[in-house]
Chains A and B, each alone.
Chain A
């Protein structure tokens, strides 16, 4: 494990381009898998999208079962339980393509992700044998029931109770779960209850267990074709064999699964963003105003370019994380019964990155979908156009799998914990920075392509360390109460990871294919970093002003001035070129 990159370590170390995985590294197999799913969506799902959205009887379930027959529900399941046991990148590509299927992607995601993975990762051999083959083929459909009416973000506050029967053969569950995706169709529900009202524990509940009932469908803003209902347990007798993991360790199951869920959510958002951009580019080139296609106007080009850039950053983030997880999984001995647990632990290492993917992906999609509607003008507000649905469907992504606010708190909390445990030398790096900042140094001014951007990202990392170090010193353990500061720290982590992923990917493209092939990616990286530096300036000032007064404040401000020194480039001209490249292919473009 020595060579593996530690989760969160990107903040304090220099990562080299060949250490990051990028979409340019996809194998022929990855492309085949991606094309197969894209073909299925185009031919089977898109023609039925209205029926799915109207929740016409059985349409979504039938499509899910067809996906099962094609082996696409079991890509992460080992062959011995009827899965395809494909690599992580393949499963990400499937998730990305699925997002073009509207609500079906939710049905798919809830089933294959949070529904199936708890059993795969934490189930015992008997449970895996009993459930996984049917989940892999879609014979059975899974749901995941964690949220309760009064336990949303505060999941541990669950009221659902489990009591062992006198004969020791069953747990009797009482309580109800809220907003459960796939509830109406599920055969298997992974849920949580407190044993004796105290020990938070995970259970696998069969839908046909007496005492389990499903509430009415929620009338949602978007993702209307997915089923979302409450699940009610009234003296539901669940066999003791269905206890998942260990009594009192339900939080381990819940949080591990959420890590993967968050990461995959980012990937799903990526697919939807590409789709929205494609539709917007097509529309802009077809729509004439003032005797010319609106695509020719500078303001539309500016939007198209920003959409492409945000999508590029999201894609670079998602597959970089995919590569990190893939690398660590490849080092594991997965022959034993503990294989699933080992994979879950490996993903846990990248909890910070998973939250970054969730926050960045969902906010990028919101931006892209919103600008997509804007480009469509009045037609974008009409349900006749797909962009309207994408806009509505996008909104939930900032809410579920842990709200973006919760994820913004998780990032610095996890980072501080890793620092305290000595897993990443954050404190040492912060101290070293303080020394460095006190000694005046000249920064190298290199003419090399992207040297300025690289330097800027290095400085952004220093700003983060400055803020995080000062905040930790000032508040110590009580930092947890300063949510506004924590969220700003998370914003910085998010953007540093994004900008750095784009930079490294661009460098990797240039190294492999030359400067010309990398010129578009380089322009995107430059434009993005140009926008980022002033953002960090504001964020850091807000935090400094909230924490310090007098001389300390002034000293920090003056350090910040040095670190945010950046000569603005002409981004307007670059963005016009980026937009023209999108128009030429009528879709998201990098090379």
Chain B
């Protein structure tokens, strides 16, 4: 199994530059994208039941190694960092190509796990992109793994108002939702082991990738404008001593607005 992860700024701590409308990243701690931790947990659970090996992979700057170590501390067996200047400014298409090349180099996994999306970009495109680059089936928004068989798996995928049960062959790309599990905390022993573990860095040369498909060159996305959405009107809390008073107030307000 291979789990793709991303190091992201902790958005609970992020402030927005009021003039530029962009995120102020300086001084904001970096964390493992929370959904990716669910992906790691899902892989570790399968390993506990069925055996196998869990490799985590990320594309990012050298400091992304911290995120990989955290996953190793959770219990992953190996970690690989894809890092090269040539990868800079990748959009989701070039990122998924790079990760797909990394995955190919690791070997032929049965399952590629991803988080459903990253909390910084919120695109949910990289997982599906990887599947497309590798020509594999994919199941997104997975909320439960019902069964893992020799050549396939049965999973639940959340959709609006319910869920679908999907039977899929392997190899497969699974993008997991937060509801699938609760990621474990790293143990002290795991942390100490992860600290000692060597994490290889693969660049353009190691991947043997097509330079035109990487970084800025391989990214068809162009950002036209970044802006903070205008603040909509605020909601109003209606308060009263009991339910009937609150209801009466609500009806009065709705009548005022000619809603009822």
A-B CB contacts (within 8 Å), total count: 43
| A contact residues around B69 at 8 Å (CB) | 28, 32
Closest to A136 in B: B188
**Would you give 18 A-B contacts (Cβ < 8 Å), ordered by A?**
A28-B69, A29-B191, A29-B192, A29-B195, A32-B66, A32-B73, A32-B195, A36-B73, A36-B186, A36-B188, A36-B191, A40-B185, A70-B187, A70-B188, A71-B188, A71-B190, A75-B188, A84-B192
Residues of B contacting A29 in the complex (Cβ-Cβ under 8 angstroms) = 191-192, 195
- Are B27 and A33 in contact (CB-based, < 8 A)? no
Residues of A within 8 A of B66 (CB): 28, 32
Interface of A is mostly: helix
By a CB distance below 8 angstroms, the chain B residues around A84 are 188-189, 192
**B188 surroundings in chain A (CB, below 8 A):** 33, 36, 70-72, 74-75, 84, 86
Of B186, B188, B192, B195, chain A has the most CB atoms within 10 Å of the CB of B188
CB-based contact A86/B27 at 8 Å: no
B residues near A (Cβ < 8 Å) are 27, 66, 69-70, 73, 185-192, 194-195
Contacts of A40 in B (CB 8 A): 185
> Which residues of A33-73 have CB atoms within 8 Å of chain B's CB atoms?
33, 35-36, 39-40, 44, 69-72
Distance (Å) between the CB of B66 and the closest chain A CB? 8
For the complex, give the distance between the alpha carbons of A36 and B195 in Å: 13
Residues of chain A with a CB closer than 8 A to B191's CB: 29, 32-33, 36
Flag if B70 contacts A32 (CB, 8 Å). Answer: yes
Residues of B near A86 (CB, < 8 A) are 188, 192
Those of A67-115 within 8 Å (CB) of chain B: 69-72, 74-75, 84, 86
A33 — which chain B residues lie within 8 A by C-beta?
Answer: 188, 191
Given the complex of chains A and B, what is the CA–CA distance between A39 and B185 in angstroms?
Answer: 8
8 smallest beta-carbon distances between A and B, as pairs: A71-B188, A29-B195, A84-B188, A71-B187, A70-B187, A71-B189, A36-B186, A32-B191
Q: In the docked arrangement, what's the CA distance between A40 and B184, Å? A: 10
Considering the complex, give the chain B residue whose CB is closest to the CB of A70.
B187
Q: Find the A residue at minimum CB distance from B196.
A: A29
Determine if A28 and B187 form an interchain contact, defined as CB atoms under 8 angstroms apart.
no
Distance of A80 Cα from B171 Cα, bound (Å): 41
Chain B residue with the shortest CB-CB distance to A87? B192
Chain A: minimal CB distance from B16 (Å): 16
A474 within 8 A of partner (CB):
no
Residues in chain B near residue A249, CB distance under 8 A:
none
Asked whether any CB of chain B lies closer than 8 Å to the CB of A553, the reply is no
CA distance A75 to B186 in the complex (A): 14
B146 to chain A minimum Cβ distance, whole angstroms, is: 27
Closest to A75 in B: B188
For residue A287, which residues in chain B have a CB less than 8 angstroms away from its CB?
none
Asked if A139 is an interface residue, CB under 8 A from chain B, the answer is no
Residues in B whose Cβ lies below 8 Å from that of A417: none
Shortest Cβ distance from B56 into chain A, in angstroms?
15
Chain A residues, Cβ within 8 Å of B186: 32, 36, 70
With the chains together, A29 CA to B27 CA distance in Å?
A: 20
Residues in B whose Cβ lies below 8 Å from that of A69: 187
CB distance from B32 to the nearest CB of A (A): 10
Chain B residues within 8 Å of A71, by CB: 187-190
| Chain A contacts for B73, CB-based, 8 A | 32, 36
Q: Does A169 contact B (CB under 8 A)?
A: no
- Among B185, B190, B195, the residue within 8 A (CB) of A28 is B195
Whether A585 sits at the interface, judged by CB under 8 Å, is: yes
Expressed in whole angstroms, the minimum distance between the Cβ of B65 and any Cβ of chain A is: 9
Query: Are A36 and B189 in contact, CB atoms less than 8 angstroms apart?
Result: no
Complex Cα gap A229–B192 (Å): 37
| Nearest B residue to A28, CB-CB | B195
Complex alpha-carbon distance, A585 and B195, angstroms: 28
B185, B187, B195 — most chain A CB neighbours (10 Å): B185
CB distance from B234 to the nearest CB of A (A): 18
CB-CB under 8 A from A44, the residues of chain B are 185
Q: How far is the CA of A585 from the CA of B28 in the complex (A)?
A: 9
A304–chain B nearest beta-carbon distance, Å: 18
Closest A residue to B194 by beta carbon equals: A32
Nearest CB in chain A to that of B186: its residue: A36
CB proximity of B192 to chain A, nearest CB, Å: 6
B190: A residues at CB distance < 8 A: 71
Residues of B within 8 A of A36 (CB): 73, 185-186, 188, 191
- Min CB distance B102 to A, Å, is 24
Chain A proximity of B71: nearest CB distance (Å): 12
A84→B187 CA distance, assembly (Å): 10
Q: Residue of A at shortest CB range from B74? A: A36
Q: Taking CB as reference atom, which chain B residue is nearest A30?
A: B195
Measured CA separation A35–B189 after assembly (Å): 14
Q: What is the bound-complex CA distance between A489 and B191, given in angstroms? A: 44
